[in-house]
Amino acid sequence: MIIVMSPAAQEAELNAVIERIRAAGLTEHVSRGTERTLVGAIGDERALSEQVFEQMPGVERAMHIVKPYKIVAREGHPSGTVVDIRGIKLGGNQIQVIAGPCSVETQEQMDLAAAGVHAAGCRLMRGGAFKPRTSPYAFQGLGVQGLELFQRAAREYKLPIVTELMDVRMLDTFLEHDVDVIQIGARNMQNFDLLKEVGRVNKPVILKRGLSATISELLMAAEYIAAGGNHNIILCERGIRTFETAYRNVLDITAIPVLKRETHLPVVIDPSHAGGKAWMVPALARAAVAAGADGLLIEMHPNPCEAWCDADQALTPKELTDLMGSLRLIAQAVGREL
């Protein structure tokens, strides 16, 4: 950390800053310029708070040099993490597409969806048994029954399942039903109690970026999970909220290279929630693969017109199969495989 003293700072105020640094177990380096005095804190600066120093008399500002996240930072783990999901690798050279309906509705719907996911060449399946909805009157999901329908359909094709956990009280139920990947939705990205609990289990977690969250906030949320001991974390960019109204959310493609630089964790993209319209999904998915995404979360429904949730953004089984064909070509062009 660097602490910049104000031009009028007194020697006693400088000494108070130095004492605060030493009290935290760090050492100081003082550089006196013609207009400013800079104090460098040497050691693990994560023990220091910018706000504490900036409230001290004589301090103009304080700045962290080391990233506030430690376990998920690439600086401590130069090679990328590969998450193993029942033998399927996410984060390596092979790009994974996780497809399926927004919500679990019926056994017939899930059976048809699983068949479509398998036929398209996808290796994992998504589906929501518990649904966070803006309106309390909208379909909230089938709950535990949905988990049972989902597992029954997916196991027929040996597809690991990805489903969203909304309430920490349901974590044991998820474990009992052998959910393969726990998804933490955008609205729960900073539900810190939930993050701490999934950090204590040995299950892969997909952590979605919040609607208005910065990259740093996303990584700090991931740090909560990692700090609990669970390092099987997959980050998901699903679009952020801006002033634009032409589409559901703004897909931040720039987040892919930035996250790849900042963290060793795999990065997946959700083009369905970003665009909000099925016709946008293929273009966004192709752009994500070209930009270096490790995987995609894509909504597919056997009959989108009859979907109980997010019908506008769901692909048909044929559209998913066609998309997979074009994604393979792009993956090959960037030296990867699908």
Segments forming the whole domain that contains residue 39:
2-63
Which pLDDT score is estimated for 69?
A: 82
Beta-sheet pairing, 181-184 with 205-208: parallel
Question: Domain holding 247: CATH number?
Answer: 3.20.20.70
Residues with Cβ within 8 Å of 267's Cβ and at least 6 positions away in sequence, in order, are: 234, 235, 236, 237, 255, 256, 259, 260, 292, 293, 294, 295
231 and 194 housed in the same domain: yes
Region of poorest pLDDT, from 40-49, 153-162, 270-279: 40-49
Residue 310 has pLDDT above 90, yes or no: no
Check whether residue 152 and residue 120 sit in a common domain. Answer: yes
Residues 107 and 8 reside in one and the same domain: no
Using CA atoms, how far residue 246 sits from 29, 82, 250, 273, in Å, is 52, 36, 9, 13
In the prediction, which pLDDT does 137 show?
A: 64
- Decide if 158 is inside a domain: yes
* Residue 177 in domain: yes
Does 24 or 138 have the greater pLDDT score? 24
Q: Is the pLDDT of residue 108 over 90?
A: yes
On whether both 148 and 50 belong to a single domain, the answer is no
Say if residue 9 is in the same domain as residue 118.
no
pLDDT per residue as tens digits for the range 153-175: 999 999 999 999 999 999 999 99
Please tell me the predicted confidence (pLDDT) of residue 336. 97
pTM of the model: 0.84
Kindly state whether residues 167 and 56 are assigned to the same domain.
no
64 pLDDT more than 70: yes
Same domain, 111 and 38: no
Phi and psi at 185, nearest 5°, equal -75, 170
Averaged pLDDT of the chain: 92
- Segment 229-263, tens digit of pLDDT: 999 999 999 999 999 988 889 999 999 999 999 99
- What's the total number of domains in the chain? 2
- Within this chain, do residues 80 and 45 fall inside the same structural domain, yes or no? no
pLDDT at 139: 66
